[in-house]
Chains A and B, each alone.
Chain A
Amino acid sequence: MDKQSRRQFIRLAVRGTLFGGIALVTGNLILRQGEPLFGKNRKSGPTVWQLNPAKCIQCGRCATNCVKTPSAVKCTHAYSMCGYCNLCSGYFKPGTKTLDTGAEKQLCPVSAIKRTFVEDPFYEYTIDETLCIGCGKCVKGCGAFGNGSLQLQVRHPLCDNCNECSIARNCPAGAYRRVPLSDPYLLKGFGKEKV
């Protein structure tokens, strides 16, 4: 065996080993995913980031830690849970006496909540997502004194779906996790159920 063919043989052997290694890792990763590789119940589908409102403590970091400005996290209104209160604790600052839409009375720093009269004594509150920065101030107010129908959620069309979410890394409550793309929201209803 001359030097050249010996080198080629070694190269072939190592190449085979590397192929084997790649196959082993792939096989391991695919096999551990369990039976359904395709279809609805598989685990191997793409994931997106979402935050669990039940864990969220409204620290305000969603507004500042997202790689996007303004943040891809927005306040989401689960209307079906809303009490349509006149004195909305997510809309008004604590201690507000006259309930009108004056900016100084609003909890929201960017006036992203629109208050519209429905019928006595009910008011509808709508989030203007183009304004909302995801600070969670209204969420805190609504959760503390109201029904908790205002909740922070990652709005997927705005989210870049980073491999590691920059807000998740800084979330003090560990509320963020990867969720399957087929079920991308985690709005909480009363108790434990989902909206």
Chain B
Amino acid sequence: MRRKQVILFFLIIGWLSPPAVMAIQRFPKPEFESGYVVPDAQLPLPRAELLAWLDVTVLLLTLSLATYLVLKRRSRMGVFLLSLFSLAYFGFYRQGCVCSIGAIQNVTMALFSGSYTVPLTVLFFFLIPLVFTLLFGRTFCAAVCPFGTFQDLVSFRPVRMGAWLNAFLGMIPYLYLGLAVLFAATTTEFIICRYDPFVGIFRLNASFGMFLFAGLLLVSGVFIARPYCRFLCPYGVLLNWMSQFSWKHMTITPAECIQCRLCENVCPYDAIDFPQTKKNPAGQRKQVNQLILLSLLLPLLVLGGVWTGGKMHLTLAGVNSRVRLARMIQATPVSKDQPEIPEITAFRSSGVQQQQLMTEVATIEDDFLTGSRIFGGFVGLVFGITLIRLIRTPYRTDYLPNRGTCFSCAKCMDYCPVLKDKTNN
């Protein structure tokens, strides 16, 4: 009976105490007479570190094999089979995490935040494809990235999109990359991971919105080949830059192009540049004038971007949880009748002063001002350069893969009738 009274007493005390709970020894450790042994807490271990390194090794091996298959063997079948393996391993077995696309954010956060250290395995996931692409082109996209290979499986009826549509939709990844870097640099959140369309399918478990997004991408992917890779993937931006200056790159023809035009309609990604032997299709004078106008417009676009970014910084900062908390506290009147908001309850019990939070938030908003301006300027620059690249008509005699946008998938190779010249090798 005494025990019940003690419990009752603590019940009353408990009701009066604040909600945040810490372990307090209210009841003594029982002394068992029946020989009962107190069990240990069950703490199962996470996936071993060795397996994280196995992932890095598999990445390195698949990437090397993909490069060999594309550049040396010129085998679409090989690339296809390898891509199935990658989809199974990185997609369905590893469930898409950590991936090279998402690793952008870990690296950014580590560069800007003092407290976060990027694990070496994640750093390697970010670096290895970049280095490979700088050497051999985007073989990572061809057969290693589970996202790309997944979309490749459904691209049955690709349609041509036209240069302007390709260029304008192609600016979305730059926006996405810019935002992802902004939010990662301010330790706000990882938007690439949050809006990742395919992990839900890899895990066979996601919210309705995620499944809808993935479904839309896959269905549109039947007609617009690899929509995520071309018009969303932020890592693709970096790979595009690397690939444009790569040491080696796959070619459509193994020897000399004979201008047979058989590869013209093959590429589902509109990544084949057609010959451009007429120097000035639109008239030399007109083109030069347009280019001069655009180069004058470029600084204005950048400045406009910086200005717009500065105007938007408070909205963007609203994504940050600390900023959100501060705004929530300011918007909520202090009264007992209000239903409890967990954020505010947690803040009150954390012992941090409101003033402290406001100073912290002011710093974050300052960071966002700088970041949003850089982001805005970047978007302006990308817009300007996209326009310039659309107008420019570089001289080309052959059908060549566009080094930036070509995924090195090797689909075009089978259509080239030219045989490798055996006498030269």
Indicate, yes or no, whether A interacts with B.
yes
Contact in complex: A181, B49 (CB < 8 Å): yes
Contact in complex: A76, B42 (CB < 8 Å): yes
The A5-27 residues at the B interface (CB cut-off 8 A) are: 11, 14-15, 18-19, 22, 25-26
> How far in angstroms is the closest Cβ of chain A from B244?
8
Q: Chain B residues near A37 (CB, 8 Å)? A: 120
Q: With the chains together, A135 CA to B190 CA distance in Å?
A: 25
Q: Chain B residues near A61 (CB, 8 Å)? A: 342
Contact in complex: A162, B134 (CB < 8 Å): no
Q: Chain A residues near B203 (CB, 8 Å)? A: 67-68, 160
Would you call the interface of chain A mostly helix, strand, loop, or mixed? loop
Contact in complex: B45, A184 (CB < 8 Å): yes
- Given the known inter-chain contacts A22-B134, A55-B346, please indicate yes or no for A85 contacting B27, CB distance below 8 A: yes
Contact in complex: A18, B36 (CB < 8 Å): no
Contact in complex: B23, A147 (CB < 8 Å): yes
- Given the known inter-chain contacts A15-B134, A46-B52, A79-B38, please indicate yes or no for A58 contacting B46, CB distance below 8 A: no
Q: Chain A residues near B176 (CB, 8 Å)? A: none
User: B259 in the interface, Cβ–Cβ < 8 Å?
Assistant: no
Cβ-closest chain A residue relative to B39: A79
User: B162 in the interface, Cβ–Cβ < 8 Å?
Assistant: no
Contact in complex: A169, B194 (CB < 8 Å): yes
The A125-163 residues at the B interface (CB cut-off 8 A) are: 139-140, 143-149, 151, 153, 155-157, 159-163
Contact in complex: B345, A57 (CB < 8 Å): yes
Cβ-closest chain B residue relative to A142: B21
User: B321 in the interface, Cβ–Cβ < 8 Å?
Assistant: yes
Q: With the chains together, A32 CA to B111 CA distance in Å?
A: 9
Contact in complex: B7, A145 (CB < 8 Å): yes
- Given the known inter-chain contacts A28-B111, A160-B203, please indicate yes or no for A195 contacting B41, CB distance below 8 A: yes
Q: With the chains together, A148 CA to B21 CA distance in Å?
A: 8
Contact in complex: A57, B349 (CB < 8 Å): yes
User: B209 in the interface, Cβ–Cβ < 8 Å?
Assistant: no
Q: With the chains together, A68 CA to B130 CA distance in Å?
A: 32
The A61-83 residues at the B interface (CB cut-off 8 A) are: 61, 67-69, 76-83
Contact in complex: B130, A22 (CB < 8 Å): yes
Contact with A along B46-57 (1 / 0, CB 8 A): 110100100000
Q: Chain A residues near B42 (CB, 8 Å)? A: 76-77
User: B166 in the interface, Cβ–Cβ < 8 Å?
Assistant: no
How many chain-B residues does the 8 Å CB contact rule pick out? 81
> How far in angstroms is the closest Cβ of chain A from B34?
4
User: B297 in the interface, Cβ–Cβ < 8 Å?
Assistant: no
- Given the known inter-chain contacts A26-B127, A157-B46, please indicate yes or no for A143 contacting B121, CB distance below 8 A: no
Contact in complex: B38, A164 (CB < 8 Å): no
- Given the known inter-chain contacts A55-B350, A163-B98, A190-B23, please indicate yes or no for A184 contacting B46, CB distance below 8 A: yes
Q: Chain B residues near A156 (CB, 8 Å)? A: 44-47
Contact in complex: A29, B118 (CB < 8 Å): yes
Cβ-closest chain A residue relative to B10: A145
Cβ-closest chain A residue relative to B194: A164
Q: Chain A residues near B102 (CB, 8 Å)? A: 163
- Given the known inter-chain contacts A147-B27, A164-B189, please indicate yes or no for A29 contacting B107, CB distance below 8 A: yes
The B76-135 residues at the A interface (CB cut-off 8 A) are: 95, 97-99, 102-103, 105-107, 110-111, 116-123, 127, 130-131, 134
> How far in angstroms is the closest Cβ of chain B from A73?
13
Q: With the chains together, A86 CA to B2 CA distance in Å?
A: 12
Contact with A along B194-234 (1 / 0, CB 8 A): 10000110010110000000000000000000000000000
User: B242 in the interface, Cβ–Cβ < 8 Å?
Assistant: yes
- Given the known inter-chain contacts A15-B246, A67-B203, A184-B45, please indicate yes or no for A163 contacting B27, CB distance below 8 A: no
User: A174 in the interface, Cβ–Cβ < 8 Å?
Assistant: yes
> How far in angstroms is the closest Cβ of chain A from B63?
15
- Given the known inter-chain contacts A57-B20, A67-B206, please indicate yes or no for A44 contacting B119, CB distance below 8 A: yes
Contact in complex: B346, A29 (CB < 8 Å): no
Q: With the chains together, A118 CA to B199 CA distance in Å?
A: 46
User: B25 in the interface, Cβ–Cβ < 8 Å?
Assistant: yes
Q: With the chains together, A56 CA to B345 CA distance in Å?
A: 11
Cβ-closest chain B residue relative to A33: B117
Query: What are some 13 contacts across the A-B interface (CB < 8 A)?
Result: A15-B246, A44-B118, A46-B122, A61-B342, A83-B27, A87-B7, A122-B36, A147-B27, A149-B23, A157-B45, A163-B97, A163-B103, A163-B105
Q: Which 7 A-B pairs have the closest CB atoms?
A: A143-B21, A83-B27, A148-B23, A156-B46, A173-B346, A164-B190, A172-B342
Chain B interface (Cβ within 8 Å of chain A)? 3-4, 7, 10-11, 14-15, 17, 19-30, 32-34, 36, 38-47, 49, 52, 95, 97-99, 102-103, 105-107, 110-111, 116-123, 127, 130-131, 134, 189-190, 193-194, 199-200, 203, 205-206, 241-242, 245-247, 321, 341-343, 345-346, 349-350
